[in-house]
Structure 1
Amino acid sequence: MARLILPCKTPTLSKTCFLGLVSSTPFQVTRRVACRHSFNDILKHRWIVGFEATQRRNYRVPSYTLSGAKKFNQRLICSVATEPVPKQVEEPSMETPKEIFLKDYKQPDFYFDTVDLKFSLGEEKTIVSSKISVYPRVEGGSSPLVLDGQDLKLISVTIDGKALKEEEYCLNPRHLTLVSPPSGRFTLEIVTEILPQKNTSLEGLYKSSSNFCTQCEAEGFRKITFYQDRPDIMAKYTCRIEADKSLYPVLLSNGNLIEQGDLQGGRHYAVWEDPFKKPCYLFALVAGQLESRDDTFITRSGRKVLLKIWTPAQDLPKTAHAMYSLKAAMKWDEDVFGLEYDLDLFNIVAVPDFNMGAMENKSLNIFNSKLVLASPETASDGDYAAILGVIGHEYFHNWTGNRVTCRDWFQLSLKEGLTVFRDQEFSSDMGSRTVKRIADVSKLRIYQYPQDAGPMAHPVRPHSYIKVLILLFLLIVTLMDRLLSKLLHQ
Structure 2
Amino acid sequence: MRTDIPQPVRLADYRPSDYLIDRVELDIKLHATATRVQSKLSLRPNPKGVPGAPLILDGDDLKAKYVLLNGAQIDSSGLFLTPDQLRLETPPQEPFHLEIETEIDPTANTRLMGLYRSGTAYCTQCEAEGFRRITYFLDRPDVLSVYTTRIEADFREAQVLLGNGNRIESGTIEGTGRHFAIWHDPFPKPCYLFALVGGILGSIHDRFVTRSGRDVALGIYVEPGKETSATYAMDALKRSMAWDEEVFGREYDLDVFNIVAVSDFNMGAMENKGLNVFNDKYVLASPATATDTDYAQIEAVIAHEYFHNWTGNRITCRDWFQLCLKEGLTVYRDHEFSADMRSRAVRRIADVRTLRSQQFPEDAGPLAHNVRPDTYLEINNFYTATVYEKGAELIRMLKVLIGDEAFHKGMDLYFARHDGTAATIEEFIACFAEAAKRDLTQFSLWYHQSGTPHVEVESAYDKQAQTLTLDFTQSCKPTPGQDTKQPFLIPIAFGLIASDGAPIALQAGGSDQASEDELARGVIELATTRRRVVFQSVPTRPVPSLLRGFSAPVRLGNSSSEADLLTLVAHDTDSFNRWQAAQTYATRQLLHAVEVVRSGRKPIYDEAFIDALLRVLEQSSDPAFIAQVITLPGEADLAREIGENVDPDAIHGARKALRQAIGEGLKPNLLQTYQALTSKDPYSPDATAAGRRALRNAALDLFCAGNPEEGLPLALQQFESATTMTDKIAALSILTAHAGPEREKALEAFYATHASEALVIDKWFILQATIPEPETLARVKSLMQHAAFSLHNPNRTRSLIGAFATGNQTQFNAADGSGYDFLAGIVLELDSINPQVAARLLAAFRSWRSLETKRQGLAEAALRRVASVSGLSPDVKDIAERSLG
Aligned to 1:464: 375
Q: One-letter code of the match for 1:390?
A: V
1:21 corresponds in structure 2 to none
* SS of equivalent residue, structure 1 residue 240: strand
Deviations 1:240-277 (A, max 9, x none): 01110111110011000000000031100000000000
Moved more, 454-463 or 154-163: 454-463
Structure with the higher helix share, 1 or 2 = 2
Q: 1:323 aligns with which of 227, 231, 234?
A: 234
Residue pair 1:448, 1:481 contacting (<8 A) in 2 also = no
Q: Distance in 2 between matches of 1:232 and 1:450?
A: 32
1:478 is matched with which residue: 373, 390, 398? 390
Q: Is the alpha carbon distance of 1:454 and 1:422 closer, same or farther for their aligned partners in structure 2, counting shifts above 3 Å?
A: same
Residues 424 and 276 of structure 1: CA distance in aligned 2, closer, same or farther (over 3 Å): same
CA distance 1:370–1:157, change in 2 (3 Å): same
SS in 1 for 2:347: helix
Q: CA deviation at 1:150?
A: 1.4
Q: Which amino acid aligns with 1:407?
A: R
Match of 1:202 among 112, 116, 120: 112
Instruction: Verify the 8 A CA contact 1:119 1:128 in the aligned structure 2.
Output: yes
Pair 213,447 (structure 1): closer, same or farther in 2 beyond 3 Å? closer
Partner of 2:280: 369
Q: Does 1:148 align with 2:63?
A: no
* Alpha-carbon contact 2:69-2:98 (below 8 Å) kept: yes
Deviation of 1:224 after TM superposition, in Å, equals: 0.3
Cα separation, partners in 2 of 1:161 and 1:338, compared to 1, 3 Å: same
**Are positions 1:221 and 2:154 aligned together?**
no
Alpha-carbon distance between aligned partners in 1 of 2:319 and 2:50, rounded to the nearest angstrom: 26
* Structure 1 segment 82-481 matched on structure 2, within 5 A: 94-138=3-47, 141-264=51-174, 265-473=176-384, 474-481=386-393
Distance of 1:371 and 1:129 partners within structure 2: 33
Q: Within 2, Cα distance between the matches of 1:369 and 1:444? A: 24
In 2, the alpha carbon distance for the partners of 1:223 and 1:422 equals 32
Is 2:330–2:392's contact at 8 Å kept on the other side of the alignment? no
C-alpha separation in 2, matches of 1:367 and 1:357: 6
TM-score, normalization: structure 2?
0.44
Q: Which moved more, 1:303-312 or 1:375-384?
A: 375-384
Contact 1:297–1:306 (8 Å) recurs in 2: yes
* 2:118–2:263 contact (8 Å) kept in structure 1: no
- Which residue is 1:27 aligned to? none
Task: Answer with 194-203 or 318-327: which moved more.
Answer: 194-203
Distance 1:356 1:460 in 2: 20
* Alignment match, 1:52: none
CA displacement, residues 351-410 of structure 1 (integer Å, 9 cap, x when unaligned) = 223343211111100112111011122322222111110100000000100110000000
Structure-2 change in CA distance of 1:371 and 1:159 (3 Å): same
Which moved further from structure 2: 157-166 or 107-116? 157-166
The 1:479–1:357 alpha-carbon spacing in structure 2 relative to 1, beyond 3 Å, is: closer
**What is the deviation of 1:140?**
9.7
- CA deviation digits over 1:304-337, x for unaligned, max 9? 0000000112110111100000000000000000
Q: Deviations over 1:420-469 (max 9, x none)?
A: 00000000000110110111122223333344344433332221111112
1:187-221 CA-to-partner distances (Å, cap 9, x unmatched) read: 11111111112111211111232111101000000
Q: Distance in 1 between matches of 2:151 and 2:358?
A: 44
Residue type of the alignment partner of 2:136: F
User: How far apart in 1 are the matches of 2:50 and 2:259?
Assistant: 44
User: RCO greater where, 1 or 2, for CA within 8 Å and sep 6 or more?
Assistant: 1
Using the TM superposition, give the Cα deviation of residue 120 of structure 1 relative to its aligned residue in structure 2, in angstroms: 0.9
Letter of the structure 2 residue corresponding to residue 370 of structure 1: K
Asked if the contact 2:85/2:136 (under 8 Å) is kept, the reply is yes
Q: Give unmatched runs, 5+ long, in structure 2.
A: 401-491, 494-522, 524-885
Cα 1:140–1:390 change in 2 (3 A) is closer
* Counterpart contact for 2:62–2:133, Cα < 8 Å: yes
Structure 1 unpaired stretches of 5+: 1-78, 80-92
The alignment partner of 2:391 has SS state of helix
Structure 1 Cα separation of the partners of residues 4 and 297 of structure 2: 39
In 2: Cα distance, 1:480 partner to 1:330 partner: 20
Report the Cα distance in structure 1 between the residues aligned to 2:295 and 2:220, rounded to whole angstroms.
Answer: 16
Which amino acid is 2:354 matched to?
K
State the secondary structure of the residue aligned to 1:313: coil
3-state DSSP of counterpart to 1:262: strand
Distance 1:106 1:281 in 2: 19
Aligned with 1:196: secondary structure?
A: coil
Q: TM-score, normalised by structure 1?
A: 0.79
Residue-by-residue CA offset, 1:256-302 (whole Å, 9 max, x unaligned) = 00000000311000000000000000000100001210000000001
Q: Distance in 2 between matches of 1:378 and 1:203?
A: 29
For residues 111-143 of structure 1, what are the alpha-carbon distances to aligned partners after superposition, in whole Å with 9 as ceiling and x for unaligned?
Answer: 010000000112331110001110101399311
- 1:229 is paired with a residue of what secondary structure? coil
- C-alpha distance in 1 between matches for 2:4 and 2:286: 47
1:456–1:125 Cα change, 3 Å: closer
Greater shift, 139-148 or 189-198, is seen at: 139-148
C-alpha distance in structure 1 between counterparts of 2:142 and 2:269, whole Å: 23
Which residue pairs with 2:462 in the alignment?
none
The 8 Å contact of residues 360 and 395 in structure 1, kept in 2 or not, is answered as: yes
Partner Cα separation in structure 2 for residue 451 and residue 368 of structure 1? 25
| Structure possessing the higher radius of gyration over alpha carbons | 2
* Counterpart Cα distance in 2 of 1:196 and 1:446: 37
> In 2, Cα distance between the equivalents of 1:340 and 1:155?
42
Greater shift in the superposed pair: 354-363 or 197-206: 354-363
Q: In the alignment, is the contact (CA less than 8 A) between 1:413 and 1:472 conserved in 2?
A: no
* Residues in 1 aligned to 2:206 and 2:39: alpha-carbon distance in whole angstroms: 34
The total of aligned residue pairs comes to 399
Higher relative strand content = 1
C-alpha deviation, 1:237, in angstroms: 0.1
Q: Aligned partners of 2:111, 2:361: CA distance in 1, in Å?
A: 33
Pairwise CA distance, 1:479: 1.9
Q: 1-side partners of 2:60 and 2:186: how far apart?
A: 28
Give the partner amino acid of 2:66.
Answer: S
**Secondary structure of residue in 2 paired with 1:252:** strand
Query: Partner of 1:40 in structure 2?
Result: none
Contact 1:347 1:364 in 2 (8 A): yes
